[in-house]
Amino acid sequence: MLFWGWGGKNITRQISHQQAVLLTYRYLHLMFLFTTTWGYKYALATQTEQGWATRAVTDQEARQLLGGEELRPSLWKRFSIFLLLGAVLLFVVVGALSGS
């Protein structure tokens, strides 16, 4: 939907010609601008003769495969909906205090 929605996305980082680390996560968005993400799951994809084979890996294994680099959505994608909620709360509190 345009106003609000949810779903799943992934981020891929290739680590060699035949391997890539995948991060799959869930998200909730409001107007595609304010979002939050959760449920991070990592997988290692390896190219075989039959196609791509994947296996789940832990956060630590993924970080080690990436050479210490962290594979996550941006801070804005992870926490911006909470910034919006905080701004609305601040607006309500200031309005209540200035109105009395």
65-76 pLDDT tens trace: 999 999 999 999
- Taking only the tens place, the pLDDT of each residue in 30-82 is 988 899 999 999 999 999 999 999 999 999 999 999 999 999 999 999 999 99
What is the spatial distance between Cα 43 and Cα 32, in angstroms, rounded to a whole number? 26
Q: How many CB atoms lie within 10 A of CB 20?
A: 18
Q: How far is CA 86 from the centre of its chain?
A: 20
Query: How far from 41 is each of 50, 90, 97, CA to CA, in Å?
Result: 24, 34, 44
Count the domains in the chain.
1
Q: From the CB of residue 59, how many other CB atoms can be counted at a distance below 10 Å?
A: 13
Domain with 87, as residue range(s), is: 4-99
Pull the structure tokens for residue 80. Answer: 């911006």
Single pTM value for the model: 0.83
